[in-house]
Amino acid sequence: MNRIEKNKTQTDQAWNKLHNRLETDGLLPTVTERRFATRPTAWIGIAAIAAIISLCVYLPTVLRTDRHLSGGELLVKANKEESILVTTLEDGSVVYLSEQTSLEYPKHFSKKRREVSLKGNALFDIAGNRARPFFIETGKVQIEVIGTAFHVRNSGNSPFELAVQRGEVKVTQKQNGQEIHVKAGETATLLGDEWQLTVTENSEQFTRYMQNMRFKDEQLDHILHAINLRQTEIHLQSSPELGKHVLTVSFSEDSPEKMAELIGLALNLKCTRNQNIITLSE
């Protein structure tokens, strides 16, 4: 075999290997018949260059995203299950995420403002801080709060809706700048490009977030804080040295007493009750 034939054989083998790899990764269009064992050298060169360019564009994008997330600049919590996924932010604010909902937020908020991005439905309980207002970005509106609790419906084809449980919230349309202030007991609905303000009639939109809660890799003090925010009958607490313990746990329509018992079993802790206060300790 002369040098030209040897080079051609090696080129064909390289092309076959590249083609199979691209086909396995789903980067080639589906065709009825495949003939790639004896392609003209010029076509091979063009195809190989195109494939290399595509991979060079695709791979750096993926790598940049990974570096961005792993660097702690942006964190993402996505809930794909029916239970409520609860997460506590750096400032102590608690977010209860419904099914098919995602939240993007920085690991550390800036000194002047706290800002997150929401897709889907969620209940927010925002820690008060007038020096650093809290902003929530959605597809159509921006929500500004200082310290309050409210429910946001922002999914599918349903109109955007915000119901305030306590405090006051300002909501601004991104398209035309129209804003509305919503107080406790009120609901703002975006119909077309107009705001409609009504009295909140459905209080279950707040209480349902206590029925099936799920915590993933959350600190014990964050879990107890989130539970206490949603009910006032029983106050759950732990000894200070236990607060940093990380726990993954789910609750299904459990009472505060039952939640404390389940946490105690998971961490091998004892529960002590004094009137309406339950303390977890070693």
- Residue boundaries of the structural domains of the chain: 72-204, 209-279
> 41: closest CA among 92, 67, 5?
5
Q: Which of 25-29, 73-77, 260-264 has the lowest mean pLDDT?
A: 25-29
Distance CA 218, CA 214 (A): 10
For residue 282, pLDDT over 80 is answered with yes
Choice between 214 and 7, residue whose per-residue pLDDT is larger: 214
pLDDT in tens, 127-137: 999 899 999 99
Is the pTM for the entire model greater than 0.85? no
Helix (H, G, I), strand (E, B) or coil at 146: coil
Predicted local distance difference test score (pLDDT) of residue 99: 93
The pLDDT of residue 68: 37
pLDDT at 104: 97
Question: With contact defined as beta carbons under 8 Å apart, do 88 and 222 qualify?
Answer: yes
* pLDDT of the residue at 52: 35
Q: Are strands 122-125 and 94-97 parallel, antiparallel or unpaired?
A: antiparallel
In whole angstroms, how far apart are CA 123 and each of 11, 118, 244? 59, 11, 24
Strands 194-199 and 168-173: unpaired
Q: Does domain 209-279 correspond to CATH entry 3.55.50.30? A: yes
The CATH topology of domain 72-204 is Jelly Rolls (2.60.120)
Which amino acid does the sequence have at 8?
A: K
Predicted local distance difference test score (pLDDT) of residue 31: 39
**pLDDT tens, position by position, 138-178:** 999 999 998 899 999 998 778 999 999 999 999 999 999 99
Tallying the residues shown for the chain, one arrives at 282
